[in-house]
Structure 1
């Protein structure tokens, strides 16, 4: 019975790494020139171990049209959403209380009217 996998081809220019190879390996920042490292671009996401942030990760449910509108604005949409929420809270301090009682949509409609 023939295998569905192609046969393994060994490349003498690029041999399989052994334990000794892994032990001798060094991080790219230690061995590559700065211009080569710069070509890789910056790392994405939050830096590891950042504890000085005043923000908290949360999970919320947002209407699809609202989410699409922010995402369509490009990079930094989360920050723009945060600024929009900050502006809404600064405009009307009762928004948080209203969200508990009658729903933020109804209260926000009153504020906009």
Structure 2
């Protein structure tokens, strides 16, 4: 593992549910597959991730669920149209799918 963050004064080590912080001069860079042994004193200083980085934890919690649910979500459909119809809507400018939707809403008497 390369030391890419040598300018930082602290190195974080994640363990299940805990965040351990060590001064960078106390961290050994070990070959892949070898892991440092955590002492009881280090474990006593460990904090839950949410306490060590509350803003980051909150941001991660908010984004964990994916996109916000819409009140009236769209329905994906597959629709075959004549090439001339698609070419006509595309020729006007970007937003051709929205214009097709508006034309369909008008034809269905919804607008």
Answer 1 or 2: which has greater strand percent.
2
TM-score where L is the length of structure 1: 0.36
Answer 1 or 2: which has greater helix percent.
1
Larger CA Rg, structure 1 vs 2:
2
TM-score where L is the length of structure 2: 0.37
